Amino acid sequence: MPDTSRPLVARSVPAKTLSPPATVSPELQASMSQMAAASARAGAASAWVPGTPAEWKAIIAHLDSQVLATLPFVASLFPHTMVRREIAGVTIREITPARLDPAKENLLLVHFHGGGYALNGGEASAIEAVIAAHHCGLRVISVDYRMPPDHPFPAAVEDAVTVWRALTAERPSSAMGAFGTSAGGGLMLAMTLKLRELGLPLPAALGAGTPWTDLTGSSDSYQVNAGVDGVFTSFDGFAAGMAALYAGDAPLSHPLVSPVHADFKGFPPTLFITGTRDILISDTVRTYRSMKRSGVTVQLEVHEAMSHAEYIYAFASPESAEAFGDLARFFDAHLAG
């Protein structure tokens, strides 16, 4: 038995250079190289934390513009129609893939975008929804929820619940699933917790892509994969700033802010997706194991060498198609219209 009375000792590891491994596709290797170059250009900028709402809005606008620049290429690979409208006062985008499966006409997915609860608002919010709609052959409602600095927690959760409540007035919850990546995955879990608290119908199934479930930054992979993850390179600095910005006056450990601290008893079947270089692999695994202990039907898919949410950014890679294919099969197994 280990001697738990002894003081804990930190372990130093040598510096190393990471190359894209030969065990992944050329497309993912290229994505990893591009991410490494972008990370090198960013340098110390990722440690900077805006100090005022105006500074936050400026950097958010800059980063969102980079995402928007990819929209034409995404649209060329994944043909679709997109309609912007409101549901109960909340802005949504309804995506219909060109290859809508007629057998799934009565089914619907509800999507929550990632971006640290501060990024990817507006039209940028729907990129993942477009890719998922294509692979799943399903219509998707992407929720453009309110975000800080103007609207910290609980605004996003309120918007998510509002949209879900309105949708369940139109169709049975058994015909609807919900999914999201990173902050979107965390928000989806928080919404489901709130729905359970309110006694409202829950989604038939959930797709949680590398969900941000511990905004305190306590998970092991925040240390182990810092600088390894080519997308979410570090929790310290900008990411920790976004966590505090989102939480507002609520503690970071609040279960609706950091759902890893919640009780998941009675949750719908849930699929988790992560990668071995993902800085949030521990958030994902901790939430997965908590659900498993609570008797929830859960599935965990871990991809070789993949950084945080890289299946969205490397959307032309076979690994991305495989990740979204897993999502499609999971919803096919659990949604009924």
Q: How are strands ordered across the β-sheet holding 270-275?
A: 80-87, 90-97, 139-143, 108-112, 176-181, 206-209, 270-275, 298-303
Q: How do residues 18-38 score in pLDDT, each as one tens digit?
A: 999 999 999 999 999 988 887
Domain spans of the chain, in order of start: 49-334
What mean pLDDT value characterizes the chain? 95
CB 307 within 8 A of CB 278: yes
Q: Is the predicted pLDDT of residue 44 greater than 60, yes or no?
A: no
The span from the CA of 171 to the CA of 271, in Å, is 23
Q: How do residues 260-274 score in pLDDT, each as one tens digit?
A: 999 999 999 999 999
Please tell me the CATH code under which domain 49-334 is placed. 3.40.50.1820
Q: How do residues 80-95 score in pLDDT, each as one tens digit?
A: 999 999 999 999 999 9
The reported pTM is: 0.95
Q: What's residue 45's pLDDT?
A: 57
Q: What's residue 2's pLDDT?
A: 66
Report the alpha-carbon angle 8-11-15, nearest 5: 160
The span from the CA of 308 to the CA of 287, in Å, is 16
Q: Where are the alpha helices (DSSP H) in 221-280?
A: 221-224, 238-247
Q: What's residue 1's pLDDT?
A: 63
